Every structure is written in structure tokens, then in C-alpha cells.
Structure 1
């Protein structure tokens, strides 16, 4: 059976949250996944480093047969995607605008929060994307808020963006549900609670691993937005434009990492039980 081959990458296991959502809706896809675990976390990296990492990984995924690339990393999407789109002649799908669309549709009071890496927060990519999708005609489901915004009587914006630098290392170490994770999450989420946001963007693909912890702290008073769900809709549109190469065949998903394959498999299988095996290590300059 001939199938589309999609490349995906993230700094580590976080992108598997996107892969899970894609496979739930598009189970026929074959995915080549790269986790840059030797260089995780990306949140403290410079824009130049993120572009360089993206160039290396996308080139590798293309060599492996990828027809389109899902950048399952908010930090890379926020800082490197515009440059990478100019350099590669195949579809590249990022997280930022899909996440902004979903958040705008979900909010009921216009106050959107963001938790993300330091680099994503610093880029203000989500703040810009929320403004951009509104001008494109994406509005909240609540009619009163939509009309208020159109009449310039209501504000819809990211009112609080909180960097959470310790979340990614916790997830990568398999400590998502540990007492340490809960204590750190309470500290990070306090400013979000104070800002009275009703919608919170999980602005890093690692953060859905912590969703139950976040919901417990926020007491279900907030809508969590995982950009992965909106990314699938964009991927569906891309697939309609791709012609299937009948000379290609691909058997099973493939996983590559730049760090420890065993740790990636152990943590990854907590999200995708039994689906991650035969993880291969690729050496990068770190």
C-alpha cells in the first residue's frame, strides 16, 4: 500500500503529542519522527541556533523520504519557521497560527494566556498570531464577544505569557506527574490565575504531558488549547495538494533521536503505548 510520508521533529518527546493527534485523525499516514534529545531544551537557544538545527533536521527528514514536514515544536515554529520556509521547497507546518486560531475560537472573555518556553515567549509570536487571525476573520464562538471586538468595545488578546523553563526537562525525564512537577506548575500558573484568563495555550508540545497537573491546579476553570488539534486540519489541506508517488513504499513509523534512544522510547511509550520501538540514534554536533 502506498502512503504519504510525513516528517516531524521536536526538541524531544514533546512532538509525540502532535503525532498522537495526527494518527487519531489520519491513521493511514507514515511518520518519520526526529527528537533532538541531545540538544533539548530549545527554550534557551538563540534564533540562529534554532534555524541551524532546523536546517539539519529537515534535510535529514527529506533524505529519509518525507514529503512534508510538521515542525512539532513551538520554539522552532516561533523563531525559525519563516526562514526555513524560504529555504525548503516542500510544505512546512508549524504550531503558532493553528494554536492562535484555536485559542481565539475558544475564549469567552477575550483573555488568553500562554505558557511556553523562554524563546517562544520572547518572540511574541503568539501575541502577533492572535492579532493576525482576528484580522483574517477568525472569531470566538461567543457572539457577544465577537460583536464587541468588531465594534472596538471588547479586547481579545494574549494578556499573560508565562515562560516555564523547567517543564521540558521534567517531561524528558519522565517526571510529568511527580510532586516536583506539581510544585513547579503551581508557581508558573499563579500569574495566569491572577490574570483571569479563561483560555490557556499550551505553547510547547511537551506541555500536554502535564495537562492533568495543570487542570488540577486550575480546577477546570480554564480551557486548555493544544495547537496539535488545529495543526491536523492544516495537514489535511496539505495532503490534498500532494501527489502520491507510486514508486514510494514505507513500512511503519520510524523514530530517530540525537540523544539516548532508550530514554526516548521509555518516556514516549507513556503517551503512545507500544508504538515506539527500534529508535535509532543520529549523531549531531552539539
Structure 2
């Protein structure tokens, strides 16, 4: 039976977990969140590496086929440390913003991310590699991930409006550079009059995870009712039930239904 571990500071791992269940409905998941140290963007690199390694250690005890760092900030600052600890025994997959996919449209675009990711050399290197000939607006969204963690819809909508004020009026493409943001993609699209194209990372990350472990994905979008379950959830190392805040999001509802 396939078993995959996911780690993040909070609810941002929901999108990737949901995508994995869509592609591999019989896989089991183990989730490690870190509410005692959220938001990860406020931590030093050394502290963030320690937190990611701690969560990865919890997941490794379940002998997963792979560990997914379902967090952009942690992937930027801690992916190599986690890989050095666990590969090649356990493949470790990071999360990369969908910059390449957005650049493929040939249109200027914005990247919404945490302040830490927005100012990172890692994100700038992605822009330089795939979108050097395009105008890319780097939009920091302070407080949005934190509001999503507690399902505070008023703060979510305020943060979304603040992000749009930083974008040019003619820009119609957004890359979600934080895994939390996909949980409110519907609210992001509803807040902008006119057409808006949103690129997110969970499905590409899920596909890459299955490639790394040699598992053939099921058809995307098919009605999947597999045997896969959320075997265990951890909060800063403590065994817990899935937080009820998940019920505010469609992906969260689906995850709650799969809790063992």
C-alpha cells in the first residue's frame, strides 16, 4: 500500500493532499502541520530547517514512500536539508510556484506569495529562468496564509483586495506562490471583475510525487472513491485530529471524510 507524508506550517498542505487523493485514491497519507511555529515566513532559515526536519522525522517514522514539503517557503529554505537527511531512502519532493506554466502563456503575470518567498533569491531565479522577457509583478500577501489557517473570511477577503491593489489593472494572470492560497482560489477569482487565470502548484506536485515513486496516476477529474485514508495528523509533533477549520474549504471537507 502506498503511503505518502506531507508537511507544512498549516492548512496549505490540503491542496496537495487533495490532488494526491485525486490521482492516487488508494494511497494513504500522513500529515504534519506545525501551528506552534506558523507562519514559516517569520522564521530564520536555521529555525525553519529545524522545524521542517522535525516534521519530516515524524513522517519518516511511518515509513512513507515519499515525503512532500507542501509549502513554498519551506521548500525555498529547507528542501535541501530534508533531502540530505532522508534521500535516497525516502524521496523528498518540494513545491515550486507554477511560474513556468504561467510564462508559457506569453502574458505578463503576478506571483502572490508570502513576504519571505516574495523576497527570496529562489523565486527571482524562477522568474529569470522562465519569464525573463515578461513583466512579473511580485506581490507579497502578509496575513493571508494566517487568515486561511483559521478560516477568517473577512481577513481573507481584505488580504485578497490588498493584493489586487498592488497589481496593474490590465494583468489577468496570477500564480499562487503559497500553497495556502489555492484554498481560496474561488474567492480570489470572484474578487476580480473580468477574466482572471490562476495557476497553482498542487496537481503538478502530486504528479511529480507519483513519478518519483513509480506510481501510475488515475485519471484527473474522475470520480475517485478509493480506499486511501488520512492515517494520522500531527500538530508540531503532537498526534491530533484534523482541525475543524478544514470544513471551510471543499478540499478540507474531502479530507475530513477520509480521516481514519
Query: Which bin holds the TM-score, normalised by the shorter protein?
Result: 0.7 to 0.9
List per-residue Cα deviations over 1:124-144 (Å, max 9, x = no partner): 323312443x4xxxxxxxxxx
List per-residue Cα deviations over 1:233-280 (Å, max 9, x = no partner): 2112112189xxxxxxx9832211127946x52112333326438989
| Structure 1 residue aligned with 2:115 | 118
List per-residue Cα deviations over 1:181-238 (Å, max 9, x = no partner): 22232112211235x4332111111111221221122225221111112112211211
TM-score, structure 2 as length reference: 0.83
Cα distance in 1 for residues equivalent to 2:239 and 2:26 = 28
Cα distance in 2 for residues equivalent to 1:279 and 1:12 = 17
Conserved 8 A contact 1:9-1:15: yes
Residues 1:267 and 2:242 aligned together: no
| Structure 2 residue aligned with 1:146 | none
Q: Pick the structure with greater CA Rg.
A: 1
Which of 154, 172, 177 lines up with 1:198 in the alignment? 172
Residues 1:95 and 2:69 aligned together: no
Deviation at 1:166, TM superposition (A): 0.8
Secondary structure of 2:175's match?
Answer: strand
Distance of aligned partners of 1:36 and 1:222 in 2 relative to their CA distance in 1, 3 Å threshold: same
Distance of aligned partners of 1:37 and 1:278 in 2 relative to their CA distance in 1, 3 Å threshold: farther
Deviation at 1:39, TM superposition (A): 1.3
Cα distance in 1 for residues equivalent to 2:159 and 2:63 = 40
Conserved 8 A contact 2:228-2:258: no
TM-score, structure 1 as length reference: 0.76
Distance of aligned partners of 1:19 and 1:279 in 2 relative to their CA distance in 1, 3 Å threshold: closer
Give the number of aligned pairs.
Answer: 244
List per-residue Cα deviations over 1:25-81 (Å, max 9, x = no partner): 111211111111121111211111111111111111111221211110011011111
List per-residue Cα deviations over 1:87-106 (Å, max 9, x = no partner): 32221111116x2333223x
Secondary structure of 2:36's match?
Answer: coil
TM superposition outliers: structure 1 runs of 4+ over 3 Å: 259-262, 277-280
Deviation at 1:15, TM superposition (A): 0.7
| Structure 2 residue aligned with 1:155 | 133
List per-residue Cα deviations over 1:148-170 (Å, max 9, x = no partner): x9xxxx8136x211111211221
| Structure 1 residue aligned with 2:49 | 51
Conserved 8 A contact 1:160-1:192: yes
Conserved 8 A contact 2:118-2:138: yes
Superposed counterparts of 1:128-147, under 5 Å: 128-132=125-129, 134=130
Cα distance in 1 for residues equivalent to 2:167 and 2:256 = 35
Distance of aligned partners of 1:273 and 1:86 in 2 relative to their CA distance in 1, 3 Å threshold: same
Conserved 8 A contact 2:99-2:127: yes
Conserved 8 A contact 2:149-2:245: yes
> What stretches of structure 1 of length at least 5 have no aligned partner?
135-148, 243-249, 281-286
Conserved 8 A contact 1:255-1:276: no
Which of 105, 118, 124 lines up with 1:127 in the alignment? 124
Cα distance in 2 for residues equivalent to 1:50 and 1:180 = 25
Conserved 8 A contact 1:50-1:76: yes
Cα distance in 2 for residues equivalent to 1:5 and 1:278 = 14
| Structure 2 residue aligned with 1:33 | 31
